Amino acid sequence: EVVDVVAAWQVPTSSKLCSICNMKALQFATTLSLTATTASAFVPSSSSCSKRKQHSAVSSTSASASTRGIQHDLTFTPPDTLGEGQITEQLCADAAEKMKRVMVPVSKDVSETGYAGISYIHWPAERKTATLPLLLVPGFDSSALELRRLGPQLAKLGVETYVVDLLGWGFTQLDGIKSFSADSKVEALKGFWQVVGGNGEVVVGGCSLGGASVITLAAENLYKADGEEENGFVRGTILIDAQGFIDGIGPMSFLPSPVARLGIKFLQSEGLRNQASQMSYFNPEAYATDDAMKISRLHCVRDGWEDGMLSFMQSGGFKPKERVAQISVPSLILWGRQDGILEKEFASKFVETMEDAELQWVEECGHVPHLEQPEAVARYIMDFLSSDKLRPNEDEKANSPANILDGILNFLN
């Protein structure tokens, strides 16, 4: 039944879903939702979200310092998924409890204060391994809760895992931000690793449209073994059913604001989120549940979400296409064999285009392998991180966030 192609994204969508309304704004919202990992993130009720005003001030009363000078926003309240959210999945609640928001440096074009609050979840490695830390980015208009099933599996295997929301999505700061453009999102992502990771060597990964942000970040911050003066921190990339060969959102970026807002409001609807969830899985009967729909909507009812989405639209979106060939570090392409959202040809195209990439198909899996087959995906990622070409340098082992914390704890004991 996938019969229509919207030129702006060049991604197949359902004829049934398109028949809901012929308005271009609604078609736009439908397409946006399908390019994303929309079966993914979070959800308390709108009444609870209205109580959670975002605070942008960076001060001694709203932030705390850690060993790396990390300033956590103490005004941030993680979502109550089991209570107010009425979500039954325990892994979602466990992930939400871990969620924090850190203030990261950005340009004055993004925020007048020079800082933006970025929400994230850290799953510490549960055993010591000789692997680099992993920074993962969820898909379009999603949150770190999207990786709620994969994060614990990686931690069990010994991978230090950080899942980071893109500015304007998830539970990031919304008020006081001037721009939620694609460039602003990548800038804040880089600022996150500067603050939390100390610009240490890291493997970065992205799901669906999150992959576009990771491609941009990696291309601009590649590690070079020859020790060039402008050396970066990205040692490898992991792309999970990622969007890498479609630039921007086409003419949709030129829609008048009132028309664009109509599409954005439709993107918020339960019906569309549920339909997108159905299309994201190989086994929708098992995974496209009421919980999945709720989890994918939480951020949509936050004050400022609509303005943030409009800002992203009007920026023209990500443009990763020319960047893919610039990725010279080792890369792992993970792709659901039954992905019904992005064309399977894209998986092979990554391998053909990138200098050092390998493809791993995930069987009996749709567009969201990290949700549908988390144990298998974790094993594939661990095998990749354990390879000789990604072995951490000795100075990186000593300066990693985990080892610094271990040193402090040993001293205190």
Where would I find the H helices in 85-209?
90-98, 150-157, 182-196
Name the pTM for this structure: 0.81
Is the predicted pLDDT of residue 178 greater than 50, yes or no? yes
CB atoms within 10 A of CB 353: 15
Give the number of residues written for the chain: 413
DSSP tag of 89: -
DSSP tag of 393: P
Measured CA angle at 187 (ends 297, 159), to 5 deg: 70
Q: Measure the CA dihedral 18/22/24/26, to 10°.
A: -60
What share of the chain in percent tops pLDDT 90? 64
Is the predicted pLDDT of residue 212 greater than 80, yes or no? yes
Model confidence pLDDT, tens digit, residues 15-61: 333 333 333 333 444 344 333 333 333 233 333 333 333 333 333 22
Average pLDDT score over residue span 225-240: 85
In this structure, are residues 259 and 25 in contact, taking their beta carbons and an 8 Å threshold?
Answer: yes
User: Which of the four pLDDT bands, split at 50, 70 and 90, describes residue 395?
Assistant: low
Write out the DSSP string of 207-271.
ETTHHHHHHHHHHHSB--TT--TT--SEEEEEEES---S--S-GGGGGS-HHHHHHHHHHHT-HH
Beta bridge partners of 14: 2
Q: What is the pLDDT of residue 67?
A: 41
Residue in the structure block whose two tokens are 């929708």: 284
- How many whole angstroms separate alpha carbon 137 and alpha carbon 394? 27
Phi and psi torsions of 154, nearest 5°: -65, -40
Q: What is the pLDDT of residue 328?
A: 96
User: Which of the four pLDDT bands, split at 50, 70 and 90, describes residue 413?
Assistant: very low
